[in-house]
Amino acid sequence: MDTRTKIILAAMELFWLKGYNSTSVADILSRTQLNSGSLYHFFPSKQDVLIAVLEFLRDGIGEMLLAPAWAGIDDPIERIFALLASYRRMIVESDCTYGCPIGSLALELHEPDPKVRELLAANFTGWANAIEACLIAAGNRLPCGLDRAALAQFVLTAMEGGVMQARTHRDVAFFDRAVSMLRAYFESLEQGVQARARA
Amino acid sequence: MDTRTKIILAAMELFWLKGYNSTSVADILSRTQLNSGSLYHFFPSKQDVLIAVLEFLRDGIGEMLLAPAWAGIDDPIERIFALLASYRRMIVESDCTYGCPIGSLALELHEPDPKVRELLAANFTGWANAIEACLIAAGNRLPCGLDRAALAQFVLTAMEGGVMQARTHRDVAFFDRAVSMLRAYFESLEQGVQARARA
DNA sequence: GTCTATAAAAGGATAGAC
DNA sequence: GTCTATCCTTTTATAGAC
């Protein structure tokens, strides 16, 4: 693996575990067994490492996140809840310390460089677009007038809020209740379509 | 105003504007026009200032947040959306840079001291409890079997997720769409009760 | 309780040899 | 492209006078 990629992977994990400000350049060097000259050869500053990490996450959402979560699942609505179930697994496996890497950075960085903010937004957009594609694939199981982009964003909202509370309370039940509320909402949408079809 | 309170108020605002790690003790001293001896006379460390801020926010939720948002509004369900509307005002007034002070700290601090984590959780609980009281006050307008604690947490989830996305995209429409999805969910719950009453 | 001065460490970043 | 050494700033916290 080339040095640049090594740095990105180490920084990605450290930013996720400790946050951006609490990760020092020395931390990244220690984890990669590199020296500061190497890092500053590829990146002008620590912030440029962050930018590379955010680009890496944005470009890897399909392979790193969606593909594993959706293996063997074809139903578009079940794919949405399978993705949420994969977050549940990460929460449980981390003893409820899991945080969404993008959400955490989005709230940690209060005055981000425009490039950083745009990449955070692009990561959210990529996630929501994947959900929106599922909602579109669900076709007439959902109301035809439904704003599918808005509902896709709402799925992201529920995930982020659920992860935030589960981590803060150190209790996955807070995530489970958010998913269960979202599931009830989906069922009411699907039942609304069926009721109108009967009428 | 006593010195201790001055420090808490300045720190509260700075933690909210810049985050905990990006606020230095020197920042707090500069804003209060105090010297480090004064701060360290009242607080053993910077983290103890954070603890005092979180206690202040927890104890002030009624006066500082709920009372202004609920002035002149008696309907319990409208109170929930009035609270969300007060967040919308803060988002717009801050040019979409508003972040929930608790949510931001909850995601910034990755390995918080137990006391800090418990206070973050207590702040979430206080907020959700206020919403739950509204849901209980709504009585039979909502399904009798509804898990009102879970729905109250879901309102918090929607607020936090909506604020996060509005800030990241610098666009209040992301918050509006989250509220509108939540509103549709409430309407489907209320209509479900009415439909069962007619049957 | 508040002041000034300063310790002690950690942080981001650079220089120049190899 | 990678190494070592180091500069300079910021940061938390303390010491001791008043």
The mean pLDDT of chain A is 98
pLDDT greater than 90 at residue A18: yes
Whether pTM exceeds 0.75: yes
Band the pLDDT of A136: cuts 50, 70, 90: very high
- The answer to whether the beta carbon of residue B36 comes closer than 7 angstroms to any atom of strand D is yes
Band the pLDDT of A199: cuts 50, 70, 90: confident
Contact A174 B159 (CB under 8 A): no
CB pairs under 8 A between A and B: 146
Determine the distance between B35 (CA) and C14 (C1') in angstroms. Answer: 34
Determine the pLDDT at residue B185: 98
Spatial distance between the Cα atoms of A105 and A99, rounded to a whole number of angstroms: 10
| Low-confidence stretches of chain B (pLDDT beneath 70) | none
Spatial distance between the Cα atoms of A147 and A136, rounded to a whole number of angstroms: 10
Residues in chain B within 8 Å Cβ distance of A165: 124, 153, 156-157, 160
Contact A157 B156 (CB under 8 A): no
From residue B156, how far is each of A129, B13, B56, B133, B153 by CA, in Å? 24, 22, 20, 14, 5
Band the pLDDT of A198: cuts 50, 70, 90: confident
Determine the pLDDT at residue A85: 98
**Closest by Cβ to A188, choosing from B167, B174, B188:** B188
Determine the distance between B18 (CA) and D8 (C1') in angstroms. Answer: 24
Is residue B173 within 8 Å of A149, Cβ to Cβ? no
Determine the distance between A25 (CA) and D7 (C1') in angstroms. Answer: 16
From residue B119, how far is each of A133, A146, A169, B112 by CA, in Å? 39, 39, 10, 10
Determine the pLDDT at residue B60: 98
Determine the pLDDT at residue A3: 98
Q: Chain B: give the shortest CA distance to residue A110, in Å.
A: 6
Contact A108 B107 (CB under 8 A): yes
The residue of chain A with its CA nearest to that of B111 is: A18
Predicted confidence (pLDDT) per residue in A19-68, tens digit: 999 999 999 999 999 999 999 999 999 999 999 999 999 999 999 999 99
- The answer to whether the beta carbon of residue A36 comes closer than 7 angstroms to any atom of strand D is yes
